[in-house]
Amino acid sequence: MAFWKFTALRLGLVAVFFAACYWLGLGLVLSAIAGAVLAWCVTYLFFREMRDEAARTVQQRFHGNNPRTTNRIERDDAGAEDSLLDAHPDVQINSDRRPREDK
């Protein structure tokens, strides 16, 4: 959640600085560049704690020790395989093995 708060803050500041620069007559492209640079400077200088918390949440999300996330289709497939194995205990699923090459 901290990542989205920080992103919303930065985008809001970009919009404010863009509008101010455009109102001052800098032009469309220069206002966009100035708005992005000024928003970056303000968030870098004055919102360090929020930026650090956003970086921590992104690091935790993509760190290798987190459990693998699955979507609904993968969970449904796993449930179907489990119910098949429960109904027919003699069935073996060896999808992780490579096929043997006969010589």
Q: Write the pLDDT tens digit of every residue in 37-93.
A: 999 999 999 999 999 999 999 988 888 676 777 788 888 888 888 888 888 888 777
Q: Give SS3 for 100.
A: coil
Question: Cβ contacts of residue 51 below 8 Å, gap of 6+?
Answer: 6, 43, 44
Amino acid 5: pLDDT: 95
Q: Please choose, from the candidates 65, 16, 4, the residue with its C-alpha nearest in 3D space to the C-alpha of residue 42.
A: 16
What does residue 87 show for φ and ψ, rounded to 5 degrees? -75, -30
Region 10-18: what's the mean pLDDT? 97
Region 14-42: what's the mean pLDDT? 97
CB 6 within 8 A of CB 54: yes
Is the pLDDT confidence value at 99 over 70?
Answer: no
pTM higher than 0.85: no
Segment (H or E) for 3: helix 2-23
Q: Please choose, from the candidates 46, 43, 45, the residue with its C-alpha nearest in 3D space to the C-alpha of residue 3.
A: 43
Is the pLDDT confidence value at 97 over 70?
Answer: no
CB 19 within 8 A of CB 25: no
